[in-house]
Amino acid sequence: MSVFRSHKTALVLFFILSASLLSWAQEAKEPITISGRASSSEISIGDQFTYELKVEWREGYEVLRVEPPLEMGKFEILEVKPEILSGKKGTENARIYAYAISTYDTGEFEIPAFTVTYKTPAGEEKTAQSQIIKINVKPILQTAEDTRDIRDIKSPLSIPAKPYLRNFLIGSGVLLLVLLIAAYLIRRHLLSRKKREPEEWVPPRPIEEIALEEIATLEKSSLLEEGKIKEYYTRISEIIRVYLGRRYRVNAIDLTSYELLRALEEKEIHDEAFKILEGFFDTCDLVKFAKFKPDQSLHRAVMEKARFIVKETTPAPVVPAKEFTTNAKDRPDSGEAASPEPVSATKGGANP
């Protein structure tokens, strides 16, 4: 009976010792394992091969990232392939990272170690590295036709230019340049002539009647009621500009107010009308360009100034001399009839 008890005690001690050894072995094992391999340990220069990096880690650990070395030596990474999860085995996880690599040098070279960053169950970040792998790169096999490893680059092939095509292109370019220069000179001449000689415009009826009629039409419009004050003042300014351009043969539409007034200084406009003309353009420009908001009284004043400008710059009609007869007793002795003096118009024009 005592012998049986001693065997039982020894068996229990054996199981306890085995469990302890197994637990110690698991704890002694690395928490993360990295193994790298190449699809071939010997390649020819310029060949592409696959480098696989297998990462295995224990439960509770987490792989954060895999980083290739900054310097690959003689090798070059051509492509990073998608990761492959090789599955979960017991308390371990595994993942495969694949890279397409090549080189253009011959000799025996090494693929440097890759770095794996992982996190422990306690949240601490650590790193581990893969082993270095050697690859033998051989030159291209020689053939009977090619006795060197790599043939020299051939010189560029020269293609002689066809003379008729070159002459055609040169002639076309010169002709196009001449046509462009001629078109520019003709356009410049026409523009200068147009600016020098304003187009003669023969109105269907007196231009002052047309201007006064357009002023009356604008006055009856609904622009002010609709709040379109800028359009209202732009329109009255255009009416007066068109009228002055036709009256004094100046390009009034394209000139600024200042330029137009300077051009009209040479015309026969008396001082009072010229001052009113200056004030008229000043008011219109304030509304058009300075966002000035005039009141109703100024609307009426601007309209009256426009009428005054038209009437004041309209030449007075020429009154023809009347032929009249005199009594015989009033005739001079020479027998010739006295010629009446013609009545001429005043330059200033009639007041409105």
CA-based nearest residue to 227, from 294, 307, 327: 294
Distance CA 234, CA 283 (A): 11
User: What's the pTM?
Assistant: 0.37
Q: What pLDDT is stored for residue 161 in this prediction?
A: 59
Q: Is the Cβ–Cβ distance between 245 and 253 less than 8 Å?
A: yes
Q: What is the longest distance spanned by two Cα atoms in the chain?
A: 195
Across the range 77-100, mean pLDDT stands at: 79
Instruction: Please say whether the dihedral angle defined by the alpha carbons of residues 252, 258, 262 and 268, taken in this order, is positive or negative.
Output: positive
C-alpha distances in Å from residue 287, one per residue of 235, 292, 304: 12, 5, 17
Q: Is the pLDDT of residue 74 over 90?
A: no
Q: What is the pLDDT of residues 118-137, one digit of tens each?
A: 999 998 999 998 999 899 99
Q: What is the pLDDT of residues 9-33, one digit of tens each?
A: 666 566 666 555 544 444 445 788 8
Tracing tokens 């026969």 back to the chain, one arrives at 268
Domains of the chain with bracketed CATH: 25-138 (2.60.40.740), 207-312 (no CATH)
Q: Is the Cβ–Cβ distance between 130 and 114 less than 8 Å?
A: yes
CA-based nearest residue to 97, from 79, 122, 70: 79
Of the pLDDT bands very low, low, confident and very high (cuts 50, 70, 90), residue 345 is very low
Amino acid found at 149: D
Mean residue pLDDT of the chain comes to: 78
Q: What is the pLDDT of residues 304-336, one digit of tens each?
A: 999 999 998 888 776 565 544 444 444 444 444
Q: Is the pLDDT of residue 346 over 50?
A: no
Strand-by-strand arrangement of the 133-138 sheet: 42-44, 133-138, 107-111
Amino acid found at 335: G
Q: What pLDDT is stored for residue 182 in this prediction?
A: 93
Tracing tokens 């118009």 back to the chain, one arrives at 345
